[in-house]
Chains A and B, each alone.
Chain A
Amino acid sequence: MSTLNRYNSVVLSRRNLLVATAATAAAVAAVALSTEQAHADDAQTDLSKLPRVKQKLVAPPFLPEHEQVVTSGPKIVEVTLTIEEKKVVIDNEGTEIWAFAYDGSVPGPMIVVHEGDYVELTLKNLPTNLMEHNIDFHASTGALGGGALTKVLPGEEVVLRWKAIKPGVFVYHCAPGDVMIPYHVVHGMNGAVMVLPRDGLKDDKGNPLKYDLAYYIGEQDFYIPRETDGSFKKYESAGEDLSDSLDVMRTLIPSHVVFNGKVGALTGENAMKAKVGDHVLFIHGQSNRDSRPHIIGGHGDYVWETGKFGNPPEVGLETWFIRGGSAGAALYKFRQPGIYAYVNHNLIEAVLLGATAHIKVDGTWNDDLMMQVSKPGPMKA
C-alpha cells in the first residue's frame, strides 16, 4: 500500500521559475550587449595593464588589510570564496543549522576595494556540497548582480570580474532561483563588500575622515523548524530541512536574530575591542530583514545609514536603520572606557533572539562626560 502526497506546494512556483528564467536570459543578453558597447566606445581601461593584487579574506567581524586612501590607479583585486555546506551551532543551547557558508563563515567575509577597482572573484562550490550556489553582489552592475553568471554545481568553480563603480558598503548573497533564494540567504549565505572612495571617507562638509579600526557586523535571521514538543529540529545533512524551513520562513518570524552567525559570537571573550580615542567604523549588513543598530552608551558620529559613500553622512545619530538587503556604516569615536552593547534596538530581537554584541573599550574615564554624583541610597524626604 502506498500513499502519495505533496505537502509542500508553492503556488506560484512555475510562474516564478519562468519569470526568473526570463530575467536571467535578459540579463545575459544585456551583458553581451553592454560588453559590445563597452568595446565600441572603449577609451576604457586596458585590463591587461592593470596591477593585480590578491586579497586575503578574513572571517568577520574583521576586515582584510586595506588602505583607506589610495593614490595609485585602479587595480584588479583577486579574491576566492569557497562555499561550504556545514552544520553550525547558532546558540548556547546547541541549536543547529546546516549553513551555506561563503569561506566557511556566517556571514561570509568582507571584501574591500576602492571605487574604480575590479573585483575578480573565483567562486568554488566544494564537491562535498549538495546544492547549486551562486553570488549576487549588490555592488556590481548587471546579470542579476553576477548571479546569472556564477551558478556553480558541487565540484565546479567560476570566475567573475566586475567593476566597482558605486562607493559604499553593500551586501552580497546567494540567489540560485525560486524559493532557494531566501532559503540560502537565511542559511547564512551572505556577506559584504566595501567600496571606498579613492580619496577615502569624507564628513558632511567634505573633510577627510579616518578610522583606526573597522568591524563588520553581519546580522542573520534564522528560521529553525521545531519538533511538536517545541524543541528545535536537527537534520543529518544539508537541504533536508528545505520543506520545514519554508514553512517557518512563511511566518516571517525568525527563531534567532544574531550577529556573526551565533548568539554571543561577539560578546564576552569575543567582544570587539577598542581604546578611548579610537575612531571605529562599524559596518552593519542585513541581507534579508530590517534592523536598527544602536550603541548603548554611545552614538554614531557619522552615519551612512544607507551605506553609500556618495552621500554625506548624517551626524550624531542615536539609532540608525538598516534596510533589509543593504549594509550601512557608522563611524564613532569612543570617549569613555567600559563595555558597550551594540544591539539591534528592537530589544526583543537583541535580548531574546540574540542580536547583541559587545565592545570592550579600554582607557580613562571622563568625569566631565558622566559621573555618578551620589551612589544609590535611601530616598531623601
Chain B
Amino acid sequence: MKIRNILASALVVGSLMASTAFAETVVKVTLIDKMGTPDLSKPLGLGMGMKADMSTAKMGININPKTAAPGNVRFDVTNLASNLVHEVLIAQITDENQLLPFDQGRNKVDEEAVRSLGSVSEIDPNKTASLTLDLKPGKYLLYCNVAGHYMAGMWTVIEIK
C-alpha cells in the first residue's frame, strides 16, 4: 500500500508539473517610481477610469506581455523602486473606464469592495516575488494598494484572451 501511494503521488506530481510547464504564461511585472517624492497624503487622481494624463504619474506598473492566454499565468514581479516597498493586488474588472470603490480617508482602494484574486505583498526595493493565478478570459487590474500609490498611477491592466 505504502509503495503504491508513493508511486501514485509521484505520478500526480509528475503530471502536475507537466501541465504547469505547458500551460503557464509568464508575465514580467516591474514596479517603478518616477519624478520626485510625491505628497501621498491626498489622492493624486491618477486612478483607473479617471482619464488622467498618465504621463504625469509618479509611480507605475509595467507588464510584458500585455495579454496572456487563459489558464495559469505566473506574474514575476520585480520592484525597481529604490526606496519604497510596494505590493501588487490582482482583481477582475469589466473595463479600464471603471472607477474603483475608493476610501478617500485612507487613500486606498476599498479592498473589501474589490475582490482580490491574489496578491504579492510587501516587496522590498530590488526584490522579486512571483504569483501564479488560474485566469479565465477577461480583463484584470494589477495595482499597488500601499496608501496613495494607486492614485499616484500605480496600476495597469492585463487582458486574458
Residues of A within 8 A of B (CB): 1-10, 13-14, 17, 127, 130-132, 151, 153-156, 176-180, 183, 235-237, 239-240, 242-243
Contact = CB atoms under 8 A, between A and B. Distances in A.
Contact of A7 (B32, B36, B130): B130
Given A237-B30, A242-B126, A153 B35 contact: yes
A132 B126 contact: no
Contacts of B76: 243
B interface, size bucket? 20 to 34
A155 B38 CA distance: 13
Interface of B: 28, 30, 32-36, 55, 62, 64-65, 76, 78, 80-82, 117-118, 120, 124-134
- CB-based closest 3 A-B pairs: A236-B64, A2-B118, A155-B35
B78 A240 contact: yes
A239 B64 CA distance: 12
Nearest to B81: A132
B128 A7 contact: yes
Given A155-B36, A178-B126, 9 more contacts: A5-B130, A8-B128, A130-B62, A130-B80, A156-B36, A177-B82, A177-B125, A235-B64, A239-B32
Contacts of A183: 126
Contacts of B118: 2, 4
B133 A237 contact: no
B34 A2 contact: no
B64 A154 contact: no
A243 B80 CA distance: 11
A130 B59 CA distance: 10
A132 B64 CA distance: 20
Contacts of B82: 131-132, 151, 176-177, 180
Contacts of B34: 127, 153-155
A242 B131 CA distance: 17
B28 A235 contact: yes
B120 A4 contact: yes
B125 A178 contact: yes
Contacts of A153: 33-36
22 contacts: A2-B131, A2-B133, A3-B132, A4-B129, A5-B129, A13-B124, A13-B126, A13-B127, A17-B125, A127-B34, A127-B35, A130-B62, A153-B35, A154-B35, A180-B82, A236-B28, A236-B65, A237-B62, A237-B64, A239-B80, A240-B30, A240-B64
